[in-house]
Structure 1
Amino acid sequence: MRAKPIPLLTERRLQSVPPPPRPRRCPRVAANPVRNGLPVVFLACLFLGGQLAPARGPLTLYYLQPAQKWEEALPLGNGRLGAMVFGGVPEERIQLNEHSLWAGPPYPEPRPGGAAILARARELFFQGQFAEGERVIQRELLVPVIEPRSYQTLGDLLLSFGHAGAVTNYSRELDLDTAVATTRYEAGGVAFVREVLASRSDDLIIMRLTASVPGALSFRARLVRPDASVSADKNSLLLRGQAAHGGKNKGVKFSAQLRVYPRGGTLHSSTNALEIQAADEAVLVLAAATDYNQTTPLEPLKRDLDEACARQLKQVGTNFERLRRRSVQEHQRLFQSVQLSLGQTSSPPSPQGSSSSSAVNSAAANASDPASLPTDQRLNALRAGAADPALAALYFQFGRYLLIGSSRPGGLPANLQGLWNEHIRAPWNSDYHININIQMNYWPAEVANLSECHEPFFDFVEGLVPAGRRTASEMLGCRGFCACLTSDVWRWTVPYGSPRWGMWVMGGAWCTQHFMEHYRFSGDRQFLRQRAYPILKEASLFFLDWLVTDPATGKLVSGPSTSPENGFIGPDGKPVTLSMGCSMDQEIIWDTFQNTLQAARELGIQDEFTATVSSALERLALPQIASDGRLMEWTREFPETEPGHRHMSHLFAIHPGRQFTFENRPEMMAAARKSIEHRLAHGGGHTGWSRAWIINFWARLREGEKAHENVVALLAKSTLPNLFDNHPPFQIDGNFGGTAGIAEMLLQSHATVDAPAARDGWAQAVPVIELLPALPKAWSTGSVRGLRARGGFEISLEWTDGALTIATIRSLSGNPCQLRYGQKSVPLHLKRGSEARFSAQLMRQP
């Protein structure tokens, strides 16, 4: 991830609409009463009251005031359509997204003839002329930056209300279990309720507005986006446009259509707005479509986008309860697959910095359940030193919620902001950074029982292969495919820009790790044969040609390459970023070769290609330990230019890799620990996603207290009021990395042991399923149900006073494993679909 974001484009709002024409009457129905009680008061300067909200469950984010900034709004998503709900009273803003709405080409293309340039640069590096070698790469090989080409907002849905008098008893909330955002308040003696959801079942944004008094609901609806046209017809608003940047980089064409169905009252349309007066309630339904062609991105779909929206809206009807029920059922099918409790705080301290009244603060502070505190107050209390294990559990489930909302089969993968982006020109274009960020997005997919949410990532990586072959062949003189620092929906793969971040060709291979991990968790042999092995072979072919022999050692090394995105002082005393054989490159290549060979063995493939990979693996240079005991980032002990750098690239072999474990290389684990301590001592972990990665490192090192310390730091220092991760600015990878880290603290299965049996002459490596490997004292009592382990297992655990009480292991594939808790381990081989229960002594229980 590059250090500085691209400047943002200021977004303007459309001007006020002209006076409306004569209204038409809408049928009246009985009023819909408020069913969930009265919430809490806020903003004493504007809102009055002091009544406590009804109790909420542990999976609810809630607040006593509307969102004032985008980072306070509540996210909804169905994988394709997203919404950020502000909960405003005079004006509600619902910011909208559609996953394929991107500005377009040009994008960086391969620069031919790079093989000779690489050969000359490598000689310079081997001769110790690092600065000159880097100048050659910058001047002659790297392609210039071409941007912006950003993922963009679809626009805003604005609802203006004419409430008279003070507003009281306000709250807004997001129920993670139902994926419904609800806003409640009273004005003029009327209780108003808004419910918003992003339905996967019907592929729509759906909203219901209700009032407790018949005829009390009046509002004006507008759709707003810079450089888009808006028109109104009967009960519909239509938004049309094309993603671009100032008329350049023209990309995806889009259309969005909003329909309003009031009950009772009147509705009239003006040039670009709908006005509803004196209704009992209203249902709003929004559809969106683009011409992006996911199969062939440079060949736009030829379809009538307005008709596509209209057809979709026509199919669903206006029965909100039915639409809500369908949406909730589909969401819960995935979300309820994992349940987590990490314990409760018995007496949270008084929250600081809330905008609600002191009386409400006092009442909330006396509550026995910290979940009764508004979410922003819980974060403030945590920053003040309060313990809140339930907040960590909420954060874990929020990460799962975000992955469900931003990555569903058939769609695009979660980008730097997942699905949610208010900008025309987003930080880093909200693109797909593949030097850790997109990979981190999917770290929780398998272990957190959301395997199908992994599918868009696989589709995207496979879509990079044709361009990656061009880059490998035309620019680098290699077979196979590669992808570099970043890409987007137009699927380009070239090294570009600055050597510090652009001269790095490991991204594609790192992505292929996820294919093998999916097989390890799922046991899907068809996926292994048809998808995992072919792309692993492509990545390995590239490395077979990319690697060169280091004349000093005779070992195979990668390069020239950056260790993303760190730098060092070269032999000539000048600061540089490129070298030969940096540890992360060597670790990713080791991982790719190992995954390729394992996949081949599983499929019974032994041929000239696998023999060549095996031979190269034996000659591959491996990371070393420095004189101070740290794991080396480069082949020599170069002084770092930024000892507290946010990337910890050379620790890939610890996580997400599996090259070094306590079972096979305890000395490397000790060296990794020293590297982490050194980096943290110099200010490392200062970005959200970096802190999340550190949680995973400490979990792999079985350091529960240090892992927990960084969970708290992630929440306290890098979490926004709506629980979004703060890089800064907002980046969603830290949310996903934090979720994965919490799972790693409770369950690990990356290490293997050789089983006594053999398969086709090869010893069979079986996963070690380690229970509660990094459980901190703060989570001394708890339970988890539904986590997944490699080898095809579903795991449920209960623990009390820091000790396991019962573990339930269910086999999904019929594979063997070794079960471990503390110093005890037992072999286990269950039939597919069967389960077994174990005590803390790993004795079978009835």
Structure 2
Amino acid sequence: MKRILSIILFAAGVFGVGQAKEQLSPDQTLWFTSPAENWAQQALHIGNGYMGASFYGSVNRERFDIAEKTFWTGGPHSSSDFKSPIIKGGKDKIEEIRKLIVEKKYVEADSLCRKYMVGNYSHYGYFSMVGNLYIDFPESEHPVKDYVRGIDLSTSRGFVEYVQEDTYFKREYFCSYPDKLMALHFTSDKKNKINFNLSQILTYPASQVKKETDGLVFNGIIKGNGLKYCIRIKVLQEGGTVSIVNQNICVEGADQATVLYAVDTEYKQEYPLYKGENPQNNTAKIIKNAGIKGYEKIKNDHIADYQALYNRVKLILKGDELSEKLPTDTRVRQLQNGFTDDSSLKTLWFNLSRYLIISASRPGTLPSTLQGVWNTFEKAPWNGNFQSNINLQEMYWSCGPTRLTECENAYISWVKDLVEPGRKTAEEYYGTRGWVSHSTGNIWGHTVPGDDILWGLYPSGAAWHCHHLWEHYVFTQDIDYLKNEAYPIMKEAALFWLENLTPYEGYLIAAPTVSAEHGIEMRNGSPVEFSTVNGEECAKKIFTVPAYQDIVMIYDLFSNVVDAANALHVDKEFSKNITIAKDKLYPLKKGKYGQLQEWVADVDNPRDHHRHIAHLYGMYPGNMISYTYTPEWANAVKKSLEMRGFGEFGDRWPHTGGNWSAAWRIALWARLHEGNTAMHIFNRLIKENGYENMMSNQSGNMQVDATMATAGLFAEMLLQSHDGFIDLLPALPTEWPEGKITGLAARGGYIIDIEWKNGSLVKAEIKMSKGSVFPVVKVNGTSIADDDSRIIVKQL
């Protein structure tokens, strides 16, 4: 009790007359009263889409773990005997494999797939890190007072501040997208107090280090791909001196100092070579321009650029005033211990989610990896994949509703780059036209199946990517984008499936495929009805049973392609053929428990708690299944979710919990209009997988997917628009009794403000662009009167 009171008293000082200068807003600032000790759980992150840094805030030594998205190993320059990821032979065996599947000879089909439907990963590579930057400050015998470190989400700035020997010190950190660099700024309220020594340890040591005026240049080669990199560091200071000794930069007696850090490689997102210009030229230009602008101009441009995106949406939840004065880690622990009344902490998560998206994915960059644009390992967990059977897509769920569609451009550009290698994969493995991609992706145009069919025989990756291309149009209504970018890619993905659907029991299925990372346990030739063996363990499992995962994704792709063609008034004959094929897809089935079946065979197991739930894609992110229009199928989805569990860990299911798996469940429960269940799962996610810095993990490794998805999940509780009408407060949780959100987007180009109190709608303002159709509006699925005074419709 004494410890809690001391924290409250300290916080009151911070918010009131204490030494801290930062405004510690309870829903805009992550802040802590001690340095970080653990990267995943406590470090804070800054980024600009190109590069990212994680900082720890120690008083005597600041550390930055620096990553840049093109620091990947592998690729076409990794070896003189570079081997294509394609293993040839699949197209010669594909019909035999499909015949075995139709005949229900799954063991034989599995065996052939393990030989002919796998890819070569010898030069796949992995996301690496640039290195560790250290800034050492003089040791002092004087104690540190009023220490605070944090992130101001409203301006995208990290900070550390404290008082030592009656001097107030402040550090300010950010990564600027306009200037493509990291800026670190050190000040104090007394002159001549800024002293530090800067050094770095590089993951791939530089082959050349040059001294320049007030800075250093590091040139080297990324191990395992042969691409050059260049790092430039420049110090701007007022007062004092700057000296360079060996590979260190020493600042002494300055009034203030700024470190400018630029890094680039010669990678270029262009299949098949992925090689551009020497990075020395680009980094030299970046540092020269930054030196001319100076710190304040760089900072102001950074904030203006960031806020142009961040300020579009604002969520206000009435919270608990005592909790709002506590440091972030204390508030997170309160939630983990069952205190759910700190509603503005959920607003902080909503804002952190958008902050991460803006920081990790911007036009001209690569999409977010599993760790975003941050990494503290030579080899990122799971290679830092662009994992395409849920993770990559989940990271972008927030972009449409919270109007961060520009942040999707990196993802869309990456998908464009997959088309040409995806055509070769379609040709060599399936013998058809069109393009296809599977479950994993890197920066080298990797589209082939995995090297293990359990997780790698997943031909619906391209179909899911195309869903995001279509959603980008539906939210923005950008017809030129649809015509010139999205539709050609979507059409060619649909062409692949038009030529690859397999007749089965009078319908069409996708084959061969494996339900994401999941198989069926067999005993004496029959499925084990109540197996408690983890569904991804390969012994005694069969995998190529036709799965609904692919059927519902193909249905979604075909539907969107037809809608896109209609919007563009093109390809009537192609649309007709797509519609015929869509109508022949194997129909959905309810199993013996009333669940939506995962496979065409009724073998779902009520004791199966696997993390993947791809067969429910038809309800979210797709809209084949609707709470409003197909309630019987929505109930089957609900039953499946109840059987599969709420994403908690279990001894026999060590990977069933985790952040991204919980996030998908949250989205589905929101679509089912069950906000309390959705919020219960979110709170459990934070309890079991959450960290003090508001990040979370999957199987023990920090990943950004669920945190980036959080804004979209919360938006889904407050507004839905996938069924052709605007549904206000469809899944409002009880723990949010009062609040307001402004600037949310609905499909069709509508911008919406919503206010509620005591769990009921107070008013909503709907802004529509000129020429838009007057929207149909409901409240939690219930139709309202045309003259309902709570609803105001205006033109943008």
Same fold (TM over 0.5): yes
Contact map agreement 1:40 1:169 (CA 8 A) in 2:
no
CA gap of 1:826–1:237, structure 2 versus 1, over 3 A, is same
Say which SS state the counterpart of residue 259 (structure 1) adopts: strand
Alignment partner of 1:252 is 2:227: yes
Partner of 2:531: none
Which of 356, 361, 384 lines up with 1:430 in the alignment?
384
Give the direction of change, closer, same or farther, for the CA distance of 1:683–1:214 in structure 2 (3 Å limit): closer
Change (3 A) 1:823 1:557: closer
Give SS of 2:296's match. helix
2:735 alignment partner, SS class: helix
Q: Which TM-score applies when normalising by structure 2?
A: 0.90
- The superposition leaves residues 576-629 of structure 1 with CA deviations (integer Å, 9 ceiling, x where unpaired) of 342343111000010011111111111122433222111111111122100110
Partners of 1:511 and 1:295 in 2: how far apart? 19
Q: 1:617 aligns with which of 561, 582, 586?
A: 582
Going from structure 1 to structure 2, the CA distance change for 1:306 and 1:338 (only over 3 Å counts) comes to: same
Q: Which residue of 2 aligns with 1:272?
A: 247
Among 316, 330, 334, the alignment partner of 1:377 is: 330
Instruction: Pick from 731, 739, 743 the counterpart of residue 703 of structure 2.
Output: 731
- CA change 1:827–1:476 in 2 (3 A) is farther
| 1:818 alignment partner, one of 765, 773, 776 | 776
The corresponding residue for 2:736 is 779
CA contact (8 A) 1:645 1:683 kept: no
Partner residue of 1:561? Answer: 513
* 1:27-82 deviations in Å (ceiling 9; x for gaps): xxxxxxxxxxx99979xxxxxxx968576212000000111121212111111121
Residues in 1 aligned to 2:337 and 2:83: alpha-carbon distance in whole angstroms: 47
Letter of the 1:629 partner, please give it: G
Alignment of 1:502-521 (within 5 A): 502-521=456-475
Contact 1:41–1:170 (Cα < 8 Å) also in 2:
no
| Unaligned residue ranges in structure 2 (runs of 5+) | 1-6, 12-16, 76-81, 528-538, 650-655
Task: Output the CA distance in 2 between the equivalents of 1:214 and 1:809.
Answer: 54
Match of 2:145 in 1: 168
1:496 alignment counterpart: 450
CA 1:208 to 1:701, structure 2 compared with 1: closer, same or farther past 3 Å? same
C-alpha distance in 2, partners of 1:211/1:682? 48
CA RMSD in angstroms comes to 2.3
Contact 1:217/1:280, CA 8 A, preserved across alignment: yes
Return the letter of the residue paired with 2:425: T
Q: Secondary structure at the match of 2:92?
A: helix
Cα distance, 1:227 vs structure 2: 2.8
Amino acid at match of 2:550: D
Q: Does structure 2 conserve the Cα–Cα contact (< 8 Å) formed by 1:838 and 1:845?
A: no
Superposition deviation, residue 121 in structure 1: 1.9
Counterpart CA distance in 2 for 1:611 and 1:750 is 24
- Asked if 1:212 corresponds to 2:201, the answer is no
1:487 match: secondary structure: coil
Aligned match of 1:62: 31
In 2, Cα distance between equivalents of 1:416 and 1:648: 19
Q: What is the CA-CA distance between 1:768 and the residue it aligns to?
A: 1.0
Q: Say which SS state the counterpart of residue 482 (structure 1) adopts.
A: coil
**Aligned residue identity for 1:615:** I
Using the TM superposition, give the Cα deviation of residue 144 of structure 1 relative to its aligned residue in structure 2, in angstroms.
4.0
Q: Does 1:575 align with 2:540?
A: yes
Corresponding residue for 1:651?
Answer: 616
Q: Is the 8 A contact 2:89 2:429 kept in 1?
A: yes
How far residue 731 of structure 1 moved from its aligned partner, in angstroms, is 1.0
User: CA–CA distance in 1 between the matches of 2:473 and 2:183?
Assistant: 37
8 Å Cα contact 2:74-2:123 kept in structure 1: no
AA aligned opposite 1:389: S
Partner-residue secondary structure (3-state), 2:52: strand
Residues in 2 aligned to 1:549 and 1:483: alpha-carbon distance in whole angstroms:
22
Tell me whether 1:398 sits opposite 2:352 in the alignment: yes
Quick one: which amino acid aligns to residue 331 of structure 1? Answer: Y
- The correspondence for 1:541, drawn from 495, 499, 505, is 495
Kindly tell me: are residues 264 and 800 of structure 1, through their superposed partners in 2, closer, same or farther at Cα, counting changes over 3 Å?
A: same
Instruction: Determine the structure 2 residue equivalent to 1:86.
Output: 56
- Structure 1 contact 39–169 (Cα < 8 Å) conserved: no
- Deviation at 1:823? 5.4
Alignment-derived partner of residue 798 in structure 1 = 755
Q: Conserved in 2, the CA contact under 8 Å of 1:500 and 1:577?
A: no
Aligned to 1:692: 663
In the alignment, structure 1 segments of 5+ residues that lack a partner are: 1-37, 43-49, 347-367, 752-766, 829-836
Give 1:843 deviation, angstroms.
7.5
Partner of 2:533: none
Aligned length: 749
Tell me which amino acid in the other structure corresponds to 1:122: R
Q: Deviations over 1:86-139 (max 9, x none)?
A: 111111001222222211225752223313322222222222321221011102
Contact 1:560-1:578 within 8 A present in 2 as well = no
Residue 283 of structure 1: which of 247, 253, 258 is its match?
Answer: 258
Aligned pairs for 1:713-728 (under 5 A) are 713-727=684-698, 728=700
Q: How does 1:93-132 map to 2 (within 5 A)?
A: 93-105=63-75, 106=82, 109-132=85-108
- Corresponding residue for 1:339? 314
For residues 838 and 103 of structure 1, the distance between their equivalents in structure 2, rounded to whole angstroms, comes to: 59
Give the TM-score, by structure 1 length: 0.85
Report deviation, 1:532.
1.9
Structure 1 residue 694, shift from structure 2 partner: 1.0
Q: Is the 8 A contact 1:575 1:641 kept in 2?
A: no
Q: Aligned in 2, Cα 1:318/1:845: closer, same or farther, shift over 3 Å?
A: closer
Residue aligned with 1:324, SS: helix
In structure 2, what residue type is equivalent to 1:89? V
The Cα of 1:802 is off from its aligned counterpart by 0.4
2:652 corresponds in structure 1 to: none
Which stretch has the larger CA shift, 259-268 or 566-575? 566-575
Which SS does the other structure have where 2:111 is aligned?
A: helix
Q: Matched residue of 1:565: which SS?
A: coil
Q: Partner letter of residue 261 of structure 1?
A: L
Contact 2:8 2:325 in 1 (8 A): no
Tell me whether 650-659 or 187-196 shows the greater mean CA deviation: 187-196
Match of 1:452 among 380, 395, 406: 406
